[in-house]
Amino acid sequence: LLMESQHLSMQLSEIIEHLITPSQMASLLESVLEQQSGIHLVSLQTLPAEPITEDKEASQYSGYYVHPVRMELTGDYFSIANYLTKLEGLPASYYWRSFSYNVEEYPKAKLVLEVYTLGSREEFIGG
């Protein structure tokens, strides 16, 4: 059981090595946004880190945290679609948590997007 726990912890460490760091996440989203016309940034928030699991027995995952970023923006469908396509095409790795797209008044729509990365520190290291 101990060997399995160590193996899982090592696998998780390898995954984290290939993910964008928490301190780079918000600036990455913003830099891609600056290259896209037709979109207005309403808000960009770094949300509090969360333990990767609430299970206190899963010690192989203790010390790892989810670092989410929430972004709200407005724009027309094609501008938002182009922005999302650019995000998907980035070499940086991260995960998508939630996505909400609503047309407020045609052709203007609002997108609320949450993405996250993983890290071995709970605190956000500013970037």
Q: How far is CA 71 from CA 11, 14, 19, in A?
A: 30, 27, 19
Closest CA to 63 of 115, 2, 8, 126: 8
Is residue 74 predicted with pLDDT exceeding 70? Answer: yes
Identify which has the larger pLDDT, 29 or 60.
29
Give the pLDDT score at 123.
72
CATH among 3.30.70.60, 3.50.50.60, 3.40.1030.10, 1.10.3720.10 for 2-119: 3.30.70.60
Give the pLDDT score at 60.
55
Q: Tell me: the pLDDT tens digits for 77-127?
A: 999 999 999 999 999 899 999 999 999 999 999 999 999 999 888 876 554
Per DSSP, 62 falls in state T
Give the pLDDT score at 69.
95
Which range among 5-14, 29-38, 40-49 shows the weakest confidence by mean pLDDT? 5-14
Per DSSP, 66 falls in state E
Q: pTM, whole model, 2 decimals?
A: 0.81
Which range among 23-27, 41-45, 67-71 shows the weakest confidence by mean pLDDT? 23-27
- State the Cα–Cα distance between residues 52 and 67, nearest whole angstrom: 9
% of the chain exceeding 90 in pLDDT: 57
- Around 76, how many Cα atoms within 13 Å sit in the side-chain half-sphere? 7
Give the pLDDT score at 125.
52
Report domain extents, the chain. Answer: 2-119
